[in-house]
Chains A and B, each alone.
Chain A
Amino acid sequence: MKVIKCIIADDEPLGSGLIKKLILMYEGFEVIAVAQNGFEAVKLVNELKPELLFLDISMPKLNGFEVLELLDHLPEVVFVTAHDNFAIKAFEQNAFDYLLKPVSDERFDKLVQKIRLKLSEPAHNKNSSGTLLNKSEPITRIAVKDKNNILIIPVGDLIYVEAADDYIYLRTKGGKFIKKGKISYYSENLNGKEFIQIHRSYIVNLEFITGLELFEKDKYRIKLSTGEFLPVSRSLYKELKEFLNL
């Protein structure tokens, strides 16, 4: 049987210690690394490419959901948490499973059977990007990779989001960052009171809009406090006008 490589990410030594002990009681599993915070988890998973990730949700620096967004290599993810209010969000993120602490031996056994079945399937189809719909609360910060660093952008600092195929650009006062993802995710998850989609490729933070002007026949654009202009699509112009109380 092929050995299933696991990484455990938990900031509490007892938490990771228990999962490690439990999983190693089963044949065919190997724990290749333990991450003590979100940054370490991202680094280790991208480098070591495990098949299975036990991911604690409440961790310092980056929480489990943010870790998921930054992974280039996406293993099967089992969320582990003491807080059941994360359950819905975990499933919206396509988690393979969700363990509520404290974990009973029976519950863990079920998980192991399920994971063996899943990973023995020849090709498992899954979403290549971790960012999936989350209809709970609007997001308040976005994690991006900037060379080797991870930056956390509070959404208040976000000026606009620009779509570029499978990527999006995030424009902030500090610069422009690229990230995997779809603009639809942001139109659904940014606060609708602070952000508005003005074009199929642009979502803009209302804070930074300083003007709306006609620049060609029937074509409008907005001016931003940064001096930049963004196009407004005809269909969204009316909505924008209403939004700005014009």
Chain B
Amino acid sequence: MAIFSMTLTSFYEDYAIKMKSEAELINELTKAQLNSLKLQINPHFIFNSLNSVSALTALDPGRAKSMIILLADYIRFSLTAGKNDFVSLNDEIENVRKYIEIESIRFGSRINYNEFFEPFSSDFKVPPLIIQPLIENCIKHGVENTSETVNINFRIKNYSDMILISIENNYEDFTKMKKKDGVGLKNVKERLKLHYNNVNLVKISEYNNLFVVELTLPALQ
């Protein structure tokens, strides 16, 4: 009897451990998935930026220096913020501005970037590098495909329990925006799904040569 009871106890202990480890495993799996999805810096971006720096050292050394500092800041944020699950929306916006500044050195007046923000709490948190990929798409599919000026509009609407972020750009008719199946956008979708356990946080619409991606980001409890 003593033996039996011992076996039973150890059975329950094993079972409890097993249950716990399964929950942990799922948690770890989610973390691993998130890590693998966390946006690495696009190699094209690095090369293009290095080209800009190289050209600037010959054409405008002063601007070459500011470009290097911008790049360093941008890379630092991408590497450090990427380690956190969440960053403040303000930091994320700051990083988007750096990114735009770097790309504006490359494309000049072909980028017309505008912000339309409703006031929001400085505590509001978002997953790191969740907005930048959308801006990168505007550059890749909008700006790179036309010699005309592309308007990139970044809007924030505050609904207290959630924030609506919208990124839109115009594009030239015959280039067609092919972002729907793009890696960047797919990655953003996957990450939001894993972070908030909700699959309906990304909305894509296209009309009148305007490409719009909307993210609904819930306030954290």
Tell whether B106 is near chain A: CB-to-CB under 8 Å. yes
Given contacts A14-B105, A82-B47, A152-B174, are A60 and B54 in contact (CB under 8 A)? Answer: no
A72 and B186 CA atoms in complex are apart in Å by 43
Tell whether B55 is near chain A: CB-to-CB under 8 Å. yes
Given contacts A14-B56, A21-B58, are A101 and B51 in contact (CB under 8 A)? Answer: yes
Which residue, of A22, A58, A60, has the highest number of chain B Cβ atoms within 10 A? A60
Chain A residues in 8 Å Cβ range of B175 = 60
Q: Is the CB of B145 within 8 A of A17?
A: no
Tell whether B19 is near chain A: CB-to-CB under 8 Å. no
Q: Contact string, B44-57, partner A, CB cutoff 8 A, digits 1/0? A: 10011011111110
A144 and B59 CA atoms in complex are apart in Å by 37
Q: Is the CB of A14 within 8 A of B145?
A: no
Q: Which residues of A from 114 to 135 have beta carbons under 8 Å from B?
A: none
Q: Is the CB of A37 within 8 A of B54?
A: no
Chain A residues in 8 Å Cβ range of B59 = 14, 17-18, 21
Tell whether A200 is near chain B: CB-to-CB under 8 Å. no
- Dominant SS at the A interface? loop
Q: Contact string, A100-121, partner B, CB cutoff 8 A, digits 1/0? A: 0111000000000000000000
Q: Contact string, A31-75, partner B, CB cutoff 8 A, digits 1/0? A: 000001100000000000000000000101100000000000000
Give the interface size class of chain A. Answer: 20 to 34
Tell whether B74 is near chain A: CB-to-CB under 8 Å. no
Chain B's nearest CB lies how many Å from the CB of A44? 14
Q: Is the CB of B52 within 8 A of A14?
A: yes
Tell whether A231 is near chain B: CB-to-CB under 8 Å. no
Among A11, A14, A60, A83, contact of B55 (Cβ-Cβ < 8 Å): A14
Q: Is the CB of B55 within 8 A of A36?
A: no
A61 and B144 CA atoms in complex are apart in Å by 9
Q: Is the CB of B51 within 8 A of A82?
A: yes
Chain A residues in 8 Å Cβ range of B47 = 82-83, 101
Q: Contact string, B143-178, partner A, CB cutoff 8 A, digits 1/0? A: 011110000000000000000000000001011000
Chain A's nearest CB lies how many Å from the CB of B216? 33
Tell whether B86 is near chain A: CB-to-CB under 8 Å. no
- Dominant SS at the B interface? helix
Chain B's nearest CB lies how many Å from the CB of A241? 37
Chain B's nearest CB lies how many Å from the CB of A25? 10
Chain B's nearest CB lies how many Å from the CB of A189? 22
Q: Is the CB of A18 within 8 A of B58?
A: yes
Chain A residues in 8 Å Cβ range of B54 = 18, 101-103
A101 and B175 CA atoms in complex are apart in Å by 25
Q: Is the CB of A37 within 8 A of B51?
A: no
Q: Is the CB of A37 within 8 A of B147?
A: yes
Given contacts A12-B106, A82-B48, A152-B174, are A18 and B147 in contact (CB under 8 A)? Answer: no
A18 and B63 CA atoms in complex are apart in Å by 14
Q: Is the CB of A17 within 8 A of B55?
A: yes
Q: Is the CB of B55 within 8 A of A102?
A: yes
A50 and B54 CA atoms in complex are apart in Å by 27
Tell whether B108 is near chain A: CB-to-CB under 8 Å. yes
Chain A's nearest CB lies how many Å from the CB of B173? 11
Residues of A within 8 A of B (CB): 11-15, 17-18, 21-22, 36-37, 58, 60-61, 82-83, 101-103, 152
A/B interface sample: 19 pairs, CB < 8 A = A12-B106, A14-B55, A18-B58, A36-B147, A60-B144, A60-B147, A60-B172, A61-B146, A82-B44, A82-B48, A82-B51, A83-B44, A101-B47, A101-B54, A102-B50, A102-B51, A102-B54, A103-B54, A152-B174
Closest 7 CB pairs of A and B: A102-B54, A18-B55, A14-B55, A37-B147, A101-B51, A60-B146, A102-B51
